[in-house]
Structures are given as structure tokens and as C-alpha cells.
Amino acid sequence: MIREITKSDFDGLMKLYMQLHDNPMPEKTSDIMSLWDKITNDENHHIIVAEENGEIVSSCVCVIIPNLTHNQQPYAFVENVITDKNYRKMGLATKCLNYAKEIAVKEHCYKLMLLTGSKEESTLNFYRQAGYNSEDKTAFIQWI
């Protein structure tokens, strides 16, 4: 099942995120739970998940960003694309990305952007097959 996150999905999402850049399982401090509330209450912040057997096994984030150019159409940014290592090659990340695109279309976004740190050709081809290209723009990142 592909759906948007609910407030009760915190533990399942954090368990999946442990496979993303080797993140540790965060403590449920008041600060992190306040951040969780802020994210889940933000109408422009969408966390999309694939659920199998009651477990969150794939996810991506889609943020809608209001914009004053391009006829004031917003744009969307996709981040944190992850699939549990035991559920890869099943099309779940593709379904999450398609759901993100549906949100972007519904919100009248003029573009959908995605960055990846991967240099693996298989990962880059996955994003190309999902409709993204790496020719139109150049991404620059400044880590702070």
C-alpha cells in the first residue's frame, strides 16, 4: 500500500531511515517529537511510504515550495528516497516517486526535482527510468 505518513508511523519510518546513511535510531526527545509534529502538520511536506505486512519498507519525501516565478507556480523537491534492503527491486520506490509526482501535479508544480549522492549507475538509471534527467540543470550543494 502506498500512502502518506501518519503521526503514528514515527517508529516505522525511523527504523527504515536507519538504512539511509547509517542513521542511528533517534531517541524520542521532546525536540525530535516537536520536529515530527511540525513535519506532519505542514501541508507542503509530504512523506510517502510503501507499507508491506504492516511495516514501512520504502519512502520518499516530497516538499512543495511556493514560488514567485513561473506564473507563481510552486515546484516540488524529492528527498530521502529509501527502500529496505529486503524489499528492493519490487517497484516500491517507483510507486513512492509516482505518488510524489501525483502530489506535485495536483499542486500545479511546474517541476519536480531530486538530488542523489549516489554515483552508482544502477541508481542513476533508476531515477532516469522514473522520469528524471540529469542534463537540464546543474546542482550545487554547500554543506553547512
- State yes or no: pLDDT of 24 exceeds 90: no
Whether pTM > 0.85 for this model: the answer is yes
pLDDT tens sequence across 81-109? 999 999 999 999 999 999 999 999 999 99
- Dihedral (CA of 16, 18, 22, 23) sign: positive
Per-domain boundaries in the chain: 2-129
CATH of domain 2-129: 3.40.630.30
Angular region, 71: left φ>0, alpha ψ -120 to 50, beta rest: left
Q: Which residues of 93-131 are buried (b: 16+ CB within 10 A; e: fewer)?
A: bbbbbebbbebbeebebeebbbebeeeeeeeeebbeebe
